[in-house]
Amino acid sequence: KGWKPLNADPPCDACSRGKEKKNELSTTTEGEDDSAEASSINDDGHNDDSDGLHLPAGQHLLVDIKDVDSEFLNSEERLASAMIDLTNESKLTLLSYHCHSLVPIGVSCAGVLLESHVAFHTWPLEGVITLDLFTCGGGKLVPLMPLIERLFSVKQTPSEGDNEEDIPEPTLLWAHKLRGFREGFAPGYVRTSNPLDEGLGWSVLGRLDFDMKRPLLSTKTAFQHVDIYEVINPDHRDLESYQMSLSNTDGAYESMHPELFIPNKILFLDGVQQSTLYGDAPYHESIVHPAMFTHENPKRVAIIGGGEGATLREALKHNTVEKAVMIEIDEDVVQLSREYLKEWSDCSNLVGSANDCFEDPRAEVRY
């Protein structure tokens, strides 16, 4: 068996993809300001070596999956195929790999990448696989999670007489961490300018204990990075109760009150947490109503910022308000919030309003 080299001619230097990318894309000419280079090094898509340096830094993706099919977890051939598909579809360069069947059961696999390594170990009887993927270079790893889930979250095969509806879906826990050192090695790198190095990184991506962690959106507007995650933190909710709330189980408290068990949604701008579904009401109520109640007869309201629409929602609850003007720099944040954070701008329970607060006849948004 041994290590299996692949028939591919690797680039001359490992972790040089950022350098190659810069050579292809850079339009800076000699003598120009290097601010574009500083901006690039702080972009989360080029977070370590996009300036052409071979930085002592990388990204680490840790994945634990349970309730996986035992035959899949004990098949050296199927696991090796999944690893090869992972590296091929993610555009990583697999130099060699080895999968070893253990006695009496289980498989360990390791692959050497041009960018570093991928490895996993299985426990077939328990239905568990743990996987880690480490890369240097500027390519993002979080977007690979759907691919990893598709390749490795293989549902258990029902035995004879089993009801397929009783077979649980595989449960996946994962974490993403920035590794190594950037500050002091990458000229112009500022930790707080990299969303993956900010609150998004340590409060959500870096935690392996969330029952659910699902990216709903990750994009960049003309002004900022926007990330929205749906999570279940076991300190506040649990996955089993959420799944029960989605069922039609007669008499089950969870299915009768699903609104109490929904996952949390978290909005990040440039990696800094801005708002959460669980904290939406108390936060926005407290910043609007004290001032509104203090005023004898509030008719005109100005809201500076407030892209999610929740501050507007609270202001419109006052029937004395004739005009509420929201002034927001980033129109994309407003439109994205209306699509992904509809709860924030829900005015359906306000008499005389619209389902969407932004459509209320008293509301005006200026950009």
- The one-digit pLDDT tens for each residue of the chain (367 residues) are 344 445 444 333 455 443 333 333 333 333 444 444 444 444 544 444 444 457 889 999 999 999 999 999 999 999 999 999 999 999 999 999 999 999 999 999 999 999 999 999 999 999 999 999 999 877 889 999 999 999 999 999 888 877 877 888 999 999 999 999 888 888 888 888 888 899 999 999 999 999 999 999 999 999 999 999 999 999 999 999 998 898 877 788 999 999 999 999 999 999 999 999 999 999 999 999 999 999 999 999 999 999 999 999 999 999 999 999 999 999 999 999 999 999 999 999 999 899 999 999 999 999 9
What pLDDT was estimated at residue 230? 96
pTM, two decimal places:
0.81
Residue 258, both tokens? 């699903």
According to DSSP, residue 181 is labeled -
Residue 183's pLDDT is: 84
Kind of pairing, strands 300-304 and 323-327?
parallel
Question: What pLDDT is recorded for position 73?
Answer: 98
CA atoms within 13 A on the CB side of 87: 27
Closest of 304, 322, 334 to residue 363, by C-alpha? 322
Task: With CA atoms as reference, report the closest residue to 205 among 235, 186, 179.
Answer: 179
Helix (H) or strand (E) holding 86: helix 76-89
pLDDT at residue number 134: 96
Rg (CA), the chain: 25
According to the model, what pLDDT value does residue 43 have? 52
